[in-house]
Structure 1
Amino acid sequence: MKRWIGFILHLAMVVILTSFVSYTAPVKVDVKIPNSLIVSGNEETKVMFQPAAYVEEMQNPPFVGTAYNGFKEALAFKESQGRYDVVNTLGYMGKYQFGAGTLKLLGVYNATNFLNDPVLQERAFEANVARNKWILRRYIKLYNGKKIRGTEITESGIIAAAHLAGAGNVKKYLRSYGNDDVADAYGSNISYYMRKFSGFDICSIPQKKNAKI
């Protein structure tokens, strides 16, 4: 009996050991890597997305105060991300996205010179602020401090909205208490500009009738 037990145990050990060493030999497959995916030891790997800090910077303009300088830089960032050389799909030009018609009113007739001259663009924006302040002077006095659709109306908001949609449309918006809310081709409307650019102090720019460069 002991002999049979020993034989069975020996046989079981052989079966177990055989199961561990039984395997299928791997098949070797040659894989050709495209040259575009091969990176040498001296080559830098390019990252195809922007770092989070850069994305955040592009979404939010740098804060430069609530006076005129802060106002114009915030508006410029919304219009063109602050770039002087931008021309959009509708032909609006420069850091502040001026149309050709407005530029002519301000005394600028050469678009190429305008795009290549940052000083000229800054002067054009200041002249346009002074011009819109004159055109909207009564509306600024009458509506400043009031609320329309939850937004406090301020001088800077009115002037920013005039830059977007023209002084005439701003008058209609104020007279209608927000019912006539004009939007540009990209969807930005007067009420949004009233809210986004509210509360800047732009008193350093005096109102001026027919302001030109």
Structure 2
Amino acid sequence: MVKNIAKCLGLTLTICVLVYASLSSNEAVDLSKYSTNGLVLNYTVRQDAIHTGKVKASKEGYESFSPYLGKSFVGFKEALAFKESGGDYFTVNTYGYLGKYQFGKGTLSLIGVKNVEKFLNNPKLQEQAFIANAQRNKWILRRDINNFVGKRVNGVVITESGILAAAHLAGPGSVKKYLRSYGLDNFADGYGTTIANYMKRFSGYDTSFLKANKKAKVSSI
């Protein structure tokens, strides 16, 4: 019995010595094997999605652009708004274009908006205006959507979302000229942004939500 106790004490003492030695070691841990040098690192936000300007906080609880909406319809309209205004409902640019989606007064009149001051201060009305204008443009461009989607113009595969984004930029008439000239008549806005640029930048989004509507108007709020 005494002999067994002695063996147990000896084993316990040996373990304690080994643990103490390992804990008291001053040897540095070599972390070089964990280096990320040479690895290709992937990020969730593309470099061309970074906006250098500041986005103002929006009123009434509306949120600004999110880069995680993918190719959904909401992703389409928010990406377009981010390009137009940085997502700011209350801005007016140097050419007098208004709000989050940068509407001109003439376009607003076509979809039933007469009071631009009310429009600029009403985010709900701006969202309605975007939908109504896109539906109207889809009706005007319905034949061109049928004829050109899937074809290449200026090296870019034409998609419905690209056509609708370009119509928002330049108007449906200019988009017709662009497509039917196979890219030779390439409208540019006052800042140098072209139809071709919008066709490429906003290609491949799901705009099936939008129904072509010749008489699309905003509803009263």
TM-score (norm 2): 0.69
Q: How many residues align?
A: 158
2:68 aligned with 1:75 = no
The sequence identity of aligned pairs, in percent, is: 59
Q: CA deviation at 1:61?
A: 5.9
Residue 204 of structure 2 is matched in structure 1 by 199
Root-mean-square deviation (Å): 1.3
Distance 1:184 1:58 in 2: 20
Structure 1 stretches of 4+ with a deviation exceeding 3 A read: none
Larger Rg: 1
Distance 1:211 1:70 in 2: 22
2:182 pairs, out of 168, 177, 183, with 177
Residue 149 of structure 2 is matched in structure 1 by 144
Residue 119 of structure 1 is matched in structure 2 by 124
- Counterpart code for 1:159: L
| 1:99-114 → structure 2 map (5 Å cutoff) | 99-114=104-119
Three-state SS of the structure 2 residue aligned to 1:102 is: helix
Residue 169 of structure 2 is matched in structure 1 by 164
**Structure 2 residue ranges without an equivalent (≥5):** 1-48, 53-64
CA contact 1:157–1:195 (8 Å) conserved in 2: yes
Residue 34 of structure 1 is matched in structure 2 by none
Distance 2:129 2:70 in 1: 21
Distance 2:154 2:107 in 1: 29
2:39 aligned with 1:58 = no
Three-state SS of the structure 1 residue aligned to 2:203 is: coil
Alignment deviations for residues 169-211 of structure 1 (CA, whole Å, 9 cap, x no partner): 1000001100000000000000000000000011011110121
Three-state SS of the structure 2 residue aligned to 1:98 is: coil
Three-state SS of the structure 2 residue aligned to 1:97 is: coil
Q: CA deviation at 1:58?
A: 2.4
CA contact 1:61–1:77 (8 Å) conserved in 2: no
- Counterpart code for 2:196: S
Three-state SS of the structure 1 residue aligned to 2:175 is: helix
Q: CA deviation at 1:57?
A: 4.5
- Counterpart code for 2:103: F
CA contact 1:146–1:152 (8 Å) conserved in 2: yes
- Counterpart code for 2:151: K
Alignment deviations for residues 134-181 of structure 1 (CA, whole Å, 9 cap, x no partner): 000000000000011110000000000000001001000001100000
Q: CA deviation at 1:69?
A: 0.3
Residue 7 of structure 1 is matched in structure 2 by none
Residue 93 of structure 2 is matched in structure 1 by 88
Distance 2:73 2:103 in 1: 19
